[in-house]
Structure 1
Amino acid sequence: MKAKYIIFDLDDTLMYEIDFLKSAFKEIADFIDKKNQEELFKLMLIKYHEGENVFDFLINNYTNFSKEQLLQMYRNHFPNISLNEGTDDLLKKIKSKGYKLGLITDGRSVTQRNKLKALKIEDLFDKIIVSEEFGSTKPDERNFKIFLENDIEEYYYIADNTKKDFVTPNKLGWTSICLLNQGNNIHTQNFDLEQKFLPKIIINSLSELLKL
């Protein structure tokens, strides 16, 4: 069996970023107005989907709180989130085959680490790269080359963001795989790009990886 390294993105790949946002909004709404928490949470979501700046709305209407205070709560709260359907089983099956598992995620250390702890998957990965800890963000080659090992013959990278996720894996000769947006992603996917930015394979669900 060829040695393989299966490397994932986190947000909108293993979990939906919108779930983290909702978790944070609920905590902020409860902190600001415990009596009307549910109504405020729903209003915050409406403002978000309408493209308004939710934090500006909050500090303009709840003047006892600062924008920085609320942003820190958003970034640092311990989220109530879950893995996308079938993901836990998939990761464990990959490990059971003897393949190595990696993760590359952009974001603040405390935010991304809290997500991983909440999802209970931190210990499944052989190596985790969080951009703030590492000092550079995707598509910097360093974030990918750190996974290169002499005994690994094949690399797979599974992610969702066509702007930054696939250009470097393509350059390195990895198999780049895009999880197609099913309508829940924070960022839109644009496939009208130069070939170097496009994934080699597109899948509708992570379960399709088992066939590969």
Structure 2
Amino acid sequence: MKLCFDFIIGIAVIEIKNIQAVIFDLDGTLLNRQLSLQRFITGQYQRFLNDLQPVSLPDYSRRFITLDHDGYVSKDVVYQQLLQEFEITTVTWRQLFDDYLVFFPDHCLAYPDTTVMLNNLNKQGYLIGLISNGASDFQRANLEALGIVHYFNHILISEDIGIKKPDPLIFNYFLEKCALDAHATVYIGDHPVNDVYGAQQVGMNVIWKRNGSTRRPPCTDWIDDWSELGTLLQND
């Protein structure tokens, strides 16, 4: 795997050997959250058209996405702020929030070739896992909606144990439950801190799913789409 020592000596390369498990983040890694959220916002706007129509859909959508901050702001806060800013009084933030919990899974989309990639890993005999922050029922509903839950040998959502990434305890908990050595795993996620730094703390091999970002990569290898994953694992 490539580590970002280029600021000192260039790119160092380490081979991935004896990998037993490939473990994923969900939002922004398997789930195309940006596109899924846009689809959901459009659907919600239509469901609450009588209440939201004083605001145009483009304006509502842009402000929602800004306040949401890639999912790192609680939806109750997002909705309260939206209603206050747009001076909407005919619907409550709780109604909109409940609608989000119920209908967001209906709008979930995976990144291209996610099913093909998981199927290939399954055929190759890897243990396939998932470690995600979020509410357990909600995240599992999203996995079910993507049609990929059956590929996973073990799923751990932060609410299950009350510990969130990047806390190393959540990664160690997963490793202990699956009787895995950290060095025999690869963790794949999109967030430089919650995923990359968090998994590196416990000794996991890490691949950053960059999704075309122009940001400087953290100290790990990276991919933009699933077609690149096989090359990184071929040294196993």
Q: TM-score category by the smaller chain?
A: 0.7 to 0.9
Q: Deviations over 1:139-194 (max 9, x none)?
A: 122321233245666100000111221223223221111011326xxxx9565xxx
CA distance in 1: counterparts of 2:88 and 2:136, whole angstroms: 29
- Choose the corresponding residue for 2:45, options 19, 29, 32: 29
- Which aligned pairs between 1:121-200 and structure 2 lie closer than 5 A? 121-148=148-175, 149-150=178-179, 154-182=184-212, 191=217, 198-200=218-220
Instruction: Indicate the larger mover: 82-91 or 92-101.
Output: 82-91
TM-score, normalised by the number of residues in structure 1:
0.80
The percent identity for this pair of structures is 26
- Choose the corresponding residue for 1:75, options 101, 105, 111: 101
Task: Kindly provide the amino acid, as one letter, of the partner of residue 156 in structure 2.
Answer: I
TM-score, normalised by the number of residues in structure 2:
0.73
CA distance in 1: counterparts of 2:192 and 2:114, whole angstroms: 21
Alpha-carbon deviation of 1:115?
1.0
Alpha-carbon deviation of 1:117?
1.1
Aligned twin of 1:116 = 143
Q: Deviations over 1:14-50 (max 9, x none)?
A: 122122322331332122116987x843332133356
CA distance in 2: counterparts of 1:63 and 1:151, whole angstroms: 52
Aligned twin of 1:44 = 60
Unaligned runs of 5+ in 2: 1-16, 69-77
Aligned twin of 1:85 = 112
Q: Does residue 66 of structure 1 match 2:92?
A: yes
CA distance in 1: counterparts of 2:56 and 2:137, whole angstroms: 26
- Relative to 1, partners in 2 of residues 1:16 and 1:139: Cα closer, same or farther, differing over 3 Å? same
Unaligned runs of 5+ in 1: 192-197
- Relative to 1, partners in 2 of residues 1:19 and 1:130: Cα closer, same or farther, differing over 3 Å? same
Contact 2:24 2:187 in 1 (8 A): yes
Aligned twin of 1:18 = 34
Aligned twin of 2:5 = none
Contact 1:7 1:102 in 2 (8 A): yes
- Choose the corresponding residue for 1:103, options 130, 147, 164: 130
CA distance in 2: counterparts of 1:50 and 1:171, whole angstroms: 30
C-alpha RMSD over aligned residues: 2.9
Aligned twin of 2:222 = 202
**Larger helix proportion of the pair:** 2
Q: How many positions carry a matched residue from both structures?
A: 201
Matched residue SS, 1:166 = helix
Alpha-carbon deviation of 1:87?
1.1
CA distance in 2: counterparts of 1:3 and 1:50, whole angstroms: 39
